[in-house]
Structure 1
Amino acid sequence: MKILILGATGGTGRLIVGAAAAGGHEVVALVRSKAKAAGLVGATLVEGDARDEAALSRAIAGCDAVVSALGTAVSPFRKVTLLSTATRALVAVMERQGVRRLVCITGMGAGDSRGHGGFFYDRLFQPLLLRQVYEDKDRQEAAIQSSQLDWIIVRPTVLNDEPARGRVRALTDLTGVHGGRIARADVADFVVQQLAADTWLHRTPLITWQDGARPARTASDRRI
């Protein structure tokens, strides 16, 4: 499968490139500059802005699927628009070119996962530091959910750079979930799996380590 990855130079994006290449996929990465992509191995680089439909069209040519791992800096006071603007442009290009599969990473606290991050995350960190970012993540998710694409939105809990454990809980019933954590490497592996799997099609799984959240088991609870 030939895959376009957005956000490939970020901490999680680089691991997605590596996991996809290791899985035998052909990877294209749209990057703002090749200099920022130094050390990125396993991808053909295309320079351009992810908000630019012309750049997206060049990068997506011949691709079968897209992974969006776009991120943005913490912005407590200034409105954030990068994620939603880039995603609207991406959806338009994908629909126009007939590329249907989109796997997008947002985060715990987006959409109906808001309020499941634990006391400090929900009461302090998200409203004080991440409010603008998560308002844009909500707009980003809305743009995807209103599209005609075969989409999966992945919402990781708090990310860390520990080694992958390979023990991931993915769930949409968040009853009893109050926080959690997961390695970027495990997120990367999960995202790459979703390129060919339909388990979470048109759904928004929150993913965490099995010991990172302890909700009651439900029919929506799958382990990988």
Structure 2
Amino acid sequence: MTYSTAPDPPKLLVLGATGATGRLIVSQAAARGYDVTVLVRSAEKAGDLKGANLVVGDARDESALREALKGRDAVVSALGTPASPFREVTLLSTATRSLVNAMKAEQVSRLICITGIGAGDSAGHGGFLFDKLIFPLLLRKVYVDKNRQEAIVRDSGLDWVLVRPSILNNKSGNSAVRALTDLSDFHGGSISREDVARFVLDQVRADAWLHRSPLITW
């Protein structure tokens, strides 16, 4: 008699699953045979997410998060928030703080969290249009909260990876993804959402970027 030595498929919780990148994470995870649960505010918006178990709740609600985390091996956070030129943004940091508490309570240690170029020491590396116009006029308050979000993840004690995509596009995936931490010669760049989803899912089992914050780009 022979026994399979292949590991069981990971059991994921995906947050932000109804966003453009989140949907690709769910579909790619399902295609890999992963067991996927999503926490969504509206079952209607998630009705077309194939291959995922739905839990309805608010990502800021620790009790809802704990329910969704039961039996999970890892979490992928693709939470996003609209541009907010005038109003303070707190969703990302509030939800991430609740998520960290819930993960510790449910003993789930692996967290892959998407933020973006402009967070932390990647600020000022988005190229002229992004750095001089889009960021200060539309995204400054969003990135104040992204920085709070990253700090919560870094201080969490979890097995985390912070993924900072360059400017997102909807083109087909390109296998030549670069993951950078030295940005001294990097200014601008873009990457497809498909490739972001693929890179993020690769981190569920890989440790190469553990406790690091790679910027990913083409």
Q: TM-score normalised by the shorter chain: which range applies?
A: over 0.9
1:68 aligns with 77
CA RMSD of aligned residues (A): 0.6
Structure 1 segments, 4+ long, off by >6 Å, are none
The alpha-carbon deviation at position 156 of structure 1 amounts to 0.2
Other-structure match for 1:52: 61
Matched, 1:84 2:93: yes
**Residue type of the alignment partner of 1:142:** A
Residue 106 (str. 1) matches residue 115 (str. 2):
yes
Letter in 2 for 1:198: D
Instruction: Quote the Cα distance in structure 1 between the aligned partners of 2:50 and 2:177.
Output: 26
Contact kept? 2:66, 2:105, Cα under 8 Å: no
Match of 1:5, SS? strand
Q: Contact 1:164–1:186 at 8 Å: present in 2 too? A: yes
| 120-129 or 137-146: bigger deviation | 120-129
Who is 1:213 aligned against?
Answer: none
Cα distance in 2, alignment partners of residues 42 and 178 from structure 1: 38
Tell me if the contact between 1:103 and 1:153 (Cα under 8 Å) persists in the aligned partners: yes
Q: Percent identity?
A: 64
Q: Secondary structure at the match of 1:112?
A: helix
Listed as ranges, the matches of 1:84-163 within 5 Å are 84-163=93-172
Normalised TM-score (structure 2)? 0.95
Residue matched to 1:31: 40
Gaps of 5+ in 1: 210-224
Aligned mates of 2:136, 2:105 — CA distance in 1: 37
> Quick check: 1:205 aligned with 2:211?
no
- Find out whether 1:173 has 2:173 as its counterpart: no
Are the equivalent residues in 1 in contact too, given 2:16–2:78 (CA < 8 A)?
Answer: yes
Structure 2: gaps of 5 or more residues: 1-9
In 2: Cα distance, 1:67 partner to 1:145 partner: 15
Alpha-carbon distance in 1 for matches of 2:20, 2:140:
22
How far apart are residue 38 of structure 1 and its match? Answer: 2.5
Say if 1:95 and 1:148, in contact at 8 Å, map to a contact too. Answer: no
Superposed displacement of residue 41, structure 1: 0.8
In structure 2, what is the Cα distance between the partners aligned to 1:24 and 1:42?
9
2:24 — aligned with what? 15
- 8 A Cα contact 1:70 1:83, kept in partner: yes
Superposition deviation, residue 149 in structure 1: 0.1
